[in-house]
């Protein structure tokens, strides 16, 4: 199968890419990026594109499935509008274009508490994206809702790391739904969902991702 991975340079996306490269079911991996990515593997195609001006017809759209691990933070984005543009607009645009070219399956790294009705902006955007993707009627759609993501990031997130340290210390007494979600477990769930491509809409909760 041919797979497109969005956000392959992020924490979860890197694990998705690593696991996809080792999966014999996947014959080709398409990774759209905004900046050059120095990776060279036989079944990997890195496509440098302007996310604001995506080509209508290009061979890289012709995939069987898409995994989106795209995501930002309010601090990194700089504003609510910029955050929504990255976390809502980009994944949805890629989903629509890939579907138009034959993609049957889509898997999204969303967030615990995602709801279009949430009073929390972050959760509301995630929930609105989930709903928009559901409305596209992919043959198979998986929404993965992790808690706080555990893993070594390239950028510094002091507050998040502090929270992770606390959660790790009290992990034995925490219910699974409140435990950190290891990035590699999220990646595994995302990849498994598109490889199996079970019909319908599926939600994977944080409790299913905990170790």
pLDDT along the chain (211 residues), means of 10: 96 96 98 89 95 92 98 86 96 98 98 96 97 99 93 57 58 60 94 98 93 68
**Domain regions of the chain by residue span:** 2-155+182-205
- Whether 122 is a known active-site residue: answer yes
pLDDT at 56: 87
Q: Are 29 and 5 in contact (CB under 8 A)?
A: yes
- Whether 126 is a known active-site residue: answer yes
Q: Are 30 and 63 in contact (CB under 8 A)?
A: yes
pLDDT at 143: 99
Question: At residue 150, what are phi and psi to the nearest 5 degrees?
Answer: -95, 135
Q: Are 33 and 5 in contact (CB under 8 A)?
A: no
Instruction: Name the active-site residue from 88, 122, 188, 192.
Output: 122
pLDDT at 74: 78
**Smallest Cα–Cα separation from 107: which of 135, 148, 140, 139?**
140
- The CATH class that applies to domain 2-155+182-205 reads alpha beta
What is this structure's pTM?
Answer: 0.89
Instruction: Name the active-site residue from 97, 104, 124, 126.
Output: 126
Which residues partner with 105 through β-bridges?
65, 140
Helices vs strands, H then E, count in the chain: 8, 9
């Amino acid at each position: 199968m041919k797979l497109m991975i969005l956000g392959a340079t992020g924490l979860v996306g890197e694990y998705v890419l690593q696991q996809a490269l080792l999966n014999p079911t996947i014959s080709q991996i398409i990774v759209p990026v905004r900046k050059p990515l120095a990776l060279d593997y036989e079944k990997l195609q890195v496509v440098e594109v302007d996310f604001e001006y995506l080509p209508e017809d290009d061979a890289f759209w012709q995939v069987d499935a898409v995994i989106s691990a795209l995501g930002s933070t309010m601090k990194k984005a700089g504003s609510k509008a910029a955050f929504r543009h990255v976390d809502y607009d980009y994944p949805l645009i890629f989903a629509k274009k890939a579907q138009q070219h034959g993609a049957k399956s889509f898997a999204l790294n969303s967030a615990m508490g995602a709801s279009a009705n949430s009073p929390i902006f972050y959760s509301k955007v995630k929930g609105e994206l989930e709903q928009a993707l559901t409305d596209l009627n992919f043959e198979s759609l998986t929404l993965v809702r992790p808690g706080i993501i555990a893993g070594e990031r390239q950028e510094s997130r002091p507050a998040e790391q502090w929270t992770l340290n606390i959660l790790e210390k009290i992990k034995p007494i925490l219910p699974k739904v409140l435990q950190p979600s290891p990035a590699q477990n999220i990646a595994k769930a995302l990849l498994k969902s598109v490889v199996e491509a079970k019909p319908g809409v599926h939600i994977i909760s944080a409790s299913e991702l905990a170790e």
